[in-house]
Structure formats: C-alpha cells, structure tokens
Amino acid sequence: MPTLASKLTHALRDELLRGDYRPGQPLRMNQLCERFQVSLSPLREALTRLATEGFVELHAQRGFKVAPVSLDNHLEITRLRLQLEATALAESIARGGDAWEIELLGAWHGLQLLDRRLAAGEAHDRDLWEVRHRALHMALIGACRMPILLQFCETLLDFSDRYRRLFLRTPFINNDAPAEHAGIVEAALARDAGRATELLARHVQHTADNITATLEGRQGAADPPAPDA
C-alpha cells in the first residue's frame, strides 16, 4: 500500500509536470503542508525524492525550489531520448509477443478516440490526453525486457513532457501527432524496427524543435507562460 510520502511524491510530480509551478520557484513547506493537510516529515521525504529525480532542487539554508529549465538541458534530454528510445523500441519489436501487440493497440486506440473528440471540439481534457499519450509511448517500448533502460526512458519522457507542457501550452497537441503516432505503431506492428525507430525519432525531434524555437524566442528560458488558471 502506498505510503503518505509516496502519494505526495506522485501528486507533486504531476503538478510539476503540468507546469503548476514556475521554474526556480521556491516551494514553501508550510504552504504545502497546509494545502495537502500533512506534516513536514512526509512532505520533506516527498520533496527529497523529487530532488533525486531532478524535478526540484535542495539548497542549503534556502530549502526546496522547482528545477530550472534551459535550452542546453532541453537539448540534452532530446538527444538522450533519441538514443535510448530507439534502442528500447527496437528491442521491444524484436521481443514483444501477442500481449505486447494487444497492449500497444489498446493504448493507440485510446489516444485515437480522444484525438478525434478533441479535433471535433467535443473534449478539452488535457490531463486525460497526457495520460493516454504517455501510455502509448511506454507501450511502444514496454516489451524490451530491459528494466533499467525502461526506467531511464520513463524519466526522460517526464523531463521532455515538462518542457512541452511549459512551453507549448496552446495548442498543447501537435496537429501532426495523430498521423505520426499511427505511422510509428503500424511500423512496430509490422515488425519493421528500422522504419519504426526512424519515425519515432522524427516525432520526438519535431516536438523538440518546436520547444527549441519557443525557448530561443524568449529572453529567459526560466520564464514560460503562466500556469493555466
């Protein structure tokens, strides 16, 4: 059963990924304790975990603050994603069986349904889209049978998603994403690792290039749009 600190870690990570806090923003312990109705001990444990994950920083005498963002950091994350996810996807295609294909098809179908509703103006649920988008990307590489690689890929996806959600807030979905996802999934199911990894790289780079352009167009990378009300 998850501990209170684990629940707090999950809740705060979601808020950080969602862009609820500005890069470099101090995290006031007393305010967070009051908002979550918890004591200092589990909150400090949760923030310490998030510091080890790279989402917050701990400064002596000054406490915790949200991790900063920068163009160099974004480019490093993108470069690592391109390398590691390609390896994970190729291994997943080589090793995945029927269960992997079923999970992949289910994740893709769920995202397709929501993409259609969003395109038709019938839905505006950003958080649900994020959940389904993440599920698809993790399903693609889920059969690689390399748990350490999967963990690295998941962390990099978190870092990448944070930049996307901070700097590409409106519109939050790349209009080309549905077709890009379809191409990747179809190539993966056809067991064409070369084609699938090529299309995945294009997809990741496409989004990364949009973020890079936004970062370069701003005076300071630590000044993204204000969080949605």
CA distances from 198 to 2, 188, 224 (A): 39, 11, 31
Alpha helices in the chain (DSSP H): 4-18, 29-36, 40-53, 71-95, 98-119, 126-141, 147-167, 177-189, 193-216
Give me the residues paired with residue 63 across strands: 59
pLDDT tens digits, residue range 172-181? 556 789 999 9
Spatial separation of the C-alpha atoms in residues 205 and 33, rounded to whole Å: 39
Model pLDDT, residue 21:
92
Q: Smallest Cα–Cα separation from 96: which of 33, 10, 180, 189?
A: 189
pLDDT tens figures, 10-58: 999 999 998 899 999 999 999 999 999 999 999 999 999 999 999 999 9
Tell me the average pLDDT of the chain: 91
Tens digit of pLDDT for each residue in 69-98? 999 999 999 999 999 999 999 999 999 999
Other Cβ atoms within 10 Å of 205 Cβ, number: 14
* Amino acid 60: pLDDT: 78
Q: Within its chain, how far is the Cα of 103 from the centroid? A: 19
Q: Which of 123-127, 157-161, 215-219 has the highest mean pLDDT?
A: 157-161
- Full DSSP string of 199-218: HHHHHHHHHHHHHHHHHHTS
**Contact between residue 193 and residue 89 where contact means Cβ atoms under 8 Å apart:** yes
Average pLDDT over residues 186-196: 98
- Confidence (pLDDT) at 222: 46
What are the structure tokens assigned to 57, written together?
Answer: 């920083």
Q: Calculate the alpha carbon distances from 23 to 32, 98, 162 in Å.
A: 17, 42, 10
Residue 223 banded pLDDT, cuts 50, 70, 90: low
Going by pLDDT thresholds of 50, 70 and 90, the confidence category of residue 224 is: low
pTM: 0.87
CA angle 86, 91, 92 (to 5 degrees): 95
